[in-house]
Structure 1
């Protein structure tokens, strides 16, 4: 895998450039991520803020997580694709949500599954992958 890797949201209004491999790839099975992804779980790539460039207009939403942390989400105002999330207390860490929009997605292999206590029963997690019943 060579970096940087380009990508864009579904409509192309927001583009991004991932300049380094994710530090971690997480599959989250919590009910909020099921709503966000409209699927059984969402994928999050943890990256340093300086490892990603994002261009285009973004809108934001926020919610308070069970931990008490603020989860600030940025999304494309045209197609609605979630691009990333941050905790405003730790803006140096980007929770990149739009990895499916990268031109090459081969690095998007979850190394950790969180909130498995809320996962869909039909989802099978490989036994050698780290799992947490709640947030890590």
Structure 2
């Protein structure tokens, strides 16, 4: 695979929110929990973990918040026009961004999950690739 040239540009579905990923993600996680299935309207969601300094985001964002089963607060930022979830953050750890809009990047070669979490709630037809870390719940 060819090396990715950073920064990589991207945008939400309607183009009102733009982002620039300036460095490789620290981690790429596929989450199979029921909440992520609802969020993604699919079998799982992809979360790309990045440092706050490694991503620039411009455009108006709206916010939603919920408390996870772990007790952590999860603040979600999304485009008010198209509704695309852009990122999530735990206010207790604001330097770690859970970037949800990686599919909107112009180059997505770096978006390969190395870890699958909440596999206890995954859809029965989903097969986790051999050799990839998996956890029945959040690690």
TM-score, normalising length: structure 1: 0.99
Alignment of 1:76 with 2:83, yes or no, is: no
Structure 1's consecutive aligned runs of 4 or more residues displaced over 6 angstroms after TM superposition are none
Say which SS state the counterpart of residue 64 (structure 2) adopts. Answer: strand
CA RMSD for the aligned pairs? 0.3
CA distance in 2, matches of 1:30, 1:127: 20
Offset at 1:127? 1.7
Which residue is equivalent to 1:11?
14
Aligned partner (choices 26, 29, 35) of residue 29 of structure 2? 26
Alignment of 1:110 with 2:113, yes or no, is: yes
Which residue is equivalent to 1:2?
5
Say which SS state the counterpart of residue 24 (structure 2) adopts. Answer: coil
CA distance in 1, matches of 2:128, 2:89: 26
CA distance in 2, matches of 1:61, 1:116: 25
CA distance in 2, matches of 1:68, 1:42: 20
Which residue is equivalent to 1:40?
43
CA distance in 2, matches of 1:98, 1:8: 8
Unaligned segments of structure 1, at least 5 residues:
none
Say which SS state the counterpart of residue 34 (structure 1) adopts. Answer: helix
CA distance in 2, matches of 1:89, 1:73: 14
Which residue is equivalent to 2:66?
63
Residues paired across the two proteins, number = 136
Q: Alpha-carbon deviations, 1:69-89, whole Å to 9, x = none?
A: 000000000000000000000
CA distance in 1, matches of 2:25, 2:10: 15
